[in-house]
Structure 1
Amino acid sequence: MKAKSVKRNWSAKTNTLSFSSVFLICIFFFLGGFFCSTLIFHSQEEENDIRPRPMTRLLEKSAKEETKYNLLPAGESGDDFITSIPFQVLSWRPRALYFPNFASSEQCKRMINLSKGRLRPSGLKLRKGETKESTKGIRTSSGVFITASEDETGVLDAIEEKIARVSKIPRSNVEAFNILRYELGQRYVSHYDAFDPAEHGPQESQRMATFLVYLTDVPEGGETMFPYENGLNMDGSYNFEDCIGLRVRPRKGDGILFYSLFPNGTIDPTSLHGSCPVIKGTKWVATKWIRNEDQGRPSII
């Protein structure tokens, strides 16, 4: 009986010691954690005045880290480096991509200076039955066609090469730059860049895509508009003049790429687009039309 009694007493003591030990350990870690967090908080307050959010720290850390790529051997026409050109998908109908800061301020200034003194009223490729008089007021900008070879500074060459990289279409398929100026009230009503053979006759090649580089900011008006974006306004009531649908405000240096043709070569009806009237300021834009066939020499349509 004595033996059993001793055994029970020893077990009770062990349980008591075990509970006390766990309690003391918990208190120790709690105080240690509180002390460390207080030190970190005060340290961050001294450096930044406010405590950065965890997400901010994570983003800052990832931005500083350099990613290393194990590149493959490039072909004769390829590159042995990574090209990073940020873009945003504006729309899938039509397929439109937006490229912020595509051209520098100096490049924009150079393209404007190249065209000054050479501007002429912008023309149209007339459809069957149309005349210059009947189409008056549709396109009221002034412009000039300039090839990259005409620019001794190499700015147009660099921009043309960059457009080829983002569009993945060879430079041999592009037309010359059409640098345009839209002054107060000037516009281009909604139209297609691709030419419908039923309206314009047989085409040797088609304008499959268009790249716009905005050369100036426009305080008000002058947006590039896509009234049929996502299939809207296609019930026959649209008058081709209203600035509705997807609208992109011109910002100096930014670019837009949109495709006029589907992959099967037919015209995308949602690629209808126009330039809203300028309300304040002056709009300068460099247009690069991209064809589905090698051009040999730039078109001046």
Structure 2
Amino acid sequence: MKLKASKHSSSLKSKLGLPAVLFACSFFFVAGFFFSSFLSQDASGLRQGPRMLESVNEERAVMPRGETGDDSFTTISFQVLSWVPRALYFPNFAPAEHCQSVIEMAKIGLKPSTLALRKGETADNTKGIRTSSGMFISASEDKTGILDIIEEKIARATMLPRTHGEAFNVLRYEVGQRYNSHYDAFHPAEYGPQKSQRVASFLLYLSDVEEGGETMFPFALVQDGENMDGSYDFRKCTGLKVKPRRGDGLLFYSLLPNGTIDPTSLHGSCPVIRGEKWVATKWLRDQEQEDE
């Protein structure tokens, strides 16, 4: 029987030709592989790769809205950097041309940055804590309308009304300049009674920095309150660091949900080592601000 099967196979090859036999084998191999893959994917959804949201073909009707709501959906990409403190990163928040425009409008009014002084502090004994230069400018003062666009997007990202925001503080850090670790919220025991409190801060990076200039949160990575007893060296640039990239945004909250100051929201600006750092800061408060 074996001899007959061999003769029959040889006869078939000679009739069809070697190329035809190879083609038939290849076809059945590919078909079998495809069919087995299809069955394995259908059998277990866990084996399928992740899908991008944009690839899901799903239609949703726009929800009914109030007088101040939107008539369309808005997408703002973000990454949660930390829950303690609450810090979020927004890539490509603003286009490069908008960032450059803000830099140009701020250059003409730069002055040495100042500090809100605590009881017993003076300009002399706090010298060196904050060495940047900057200026304040509101969206209403910007005739180009760019700050208006940025401010509106910040309001959407934070869900804090524009009327709760201070004017933009546009800052420039040159080589060696920094801002030692500090809080954006003002503790009444140190600064006196406050009419309103800073809830959150939004930093829009207006330029890349070759080296240094990171925004750092020294208590973001601590364990069991380590170094939070006053032993932390405020001049050190340690902890969670966010590298400035033009057009990117950083949001962090200074207050906890119960309204008290978050002790882990301590942050600072590392010294610029190479290049120049430009950033526009928008402080958001728990009450409406007076017209700017």
Q: Give the TM-score taking structure 1 as reference length.
A: 0.79
Q: Which residue of 1 aligns with 2:90?
A: 99
CA distance in 1, matches of 2:48, 2:170: 43
Q: 1:65: how far off?
A: 5.0
Residue 139 in 1 paired to residue 130 in 2? yes
Q: 1:215 aligns with which of 193, 206, 217?
A: 206
Q: Does 2:188 correspond to 1:188?
A: no
Contact 1:208 1:261 in 2 (8 A): yes
Look up the match of 1:20. none
* Residue in 1 that maps onto 2:194: 203
1:263 maps to 257
Q: Secondary structure at the match of 2:202?
A: strand
Following the alignment from structure 1 to structure 2, what is the Cα–Cα distance between the partners of residues 220 and 178? 23
Provide the residue aligned with 2:5 in structure 1: none
- The CA deviation at 1:297 is 2.8
Question: For 2:107 and 2:26, how far apart are their aligned partners in 1?
Answer: 73
Structure 1 residue 165 displacement after superposition: 0.4
Q: Which of structures 1 and 2 has the bigger CA Rg?
A: 1
Q: Matched residues in 1 for 2:58 and 2:33: separation? A: 34
Does the 8 A contact of 1:227 with 1:233 survive in 2?
no
Q: Is the Cα–Cα contact under 8 Å of residues 136 and 167 in structure 2 kept in the other structure?
A: yes
| Distance in 2 of aligned mates of 1:110 and 1:256 | 19
State the AA in 2 paired with 1:97.
Answer: L
Q: Cα offset for 1:55?
A: 6.9
Q: Check the 8 A contact 1:175/1:297 in 2, yes or no.
A: no
**How do 1:107-146 residues align onto structure 2 when only pairs under 5 Å count?**
107-146=98-137
SS at match of 1:251: coil
Alpha-carbon offset, residue 70 of structure 1: 1.5
> Is contact 1:212-1:286 (8 Å) kept?
yes
Q: Which residue of 2 aligns with 1:240?
A: 234
Per-residue CA deviation, residues 92-151 of structure 1 (Å, 9 max, x unaligned), is 000000000001001101110110111000011100000000000000000000000111
Q: 1:63 to 1:83 in 2, by over 3 A?
A: closer
* Deviation for aligned residue 1:67: 3.7
Partners of 2:229 and 2:119 in 1: CA distance: 24
SS at match of 1:262: coil
Distance change (3 Å), C-alpha of 1:180 and 1:37: farther
Unaligned runs of 5+ in 1: 1-29, 41-53
Counterparts of residues 1-301 of structure 1 (less than 5 Å): 33-36=28-31, 59=51, 63-231=54-222, 232-298=226-292
SS at match of 1:113: helix
- Report how far residue 36 of structure 1 moved: 3.2
**Structure-1 separation of matches of 2:51 and 2:252:** 31
Inter-partner Cα distance in structure 2 for 1:215 and 1:66: 36
Q: Secondary structure at the match of 1:229?
A: coil
**Partner SS, residue 177 of structure 2:** coil
| Contact persistence 1:225–1:246 (CA under 8 A) | yes
Q: Deviations over 1:278-297 (max 9, x none)?
A: 00000000000000011123
Q: Tell me, yes or no, if the aligned pair for 1:97 and 1:258 is still in contact at 8 Å.
A: yes
Shift in Å, 1:153: 1.7
Is the Cα–Cα contact under 8 Å of residues 221 and 240 in structure 2 kept in the other structure?
no
**In structure 2, what is the equivalent of residue 22 of structure 1?**
none
Stretches of structure 2 that go unaligned for 5 or more consecutive residues are 1-24, 36-46
Instruction: Judge conservation of contact 1:147–1:177 (CA < 8 Å) in 2.
Output: yes
Q: Distance in 2 between matches of 1:283 and 1:275?
A: 10
Which SS does the other structure have where 1:111 is aligned?
Answer: helix
Please state whether the residue corresponding to 1:107 is helix, strand or coil: helix
Distance 2:62 2:54 in 1: 21
SS in 2 for 1:208: strand
Percent identical: 62
Between the two proteins, the alignment pairs up a number of residues equal to 254
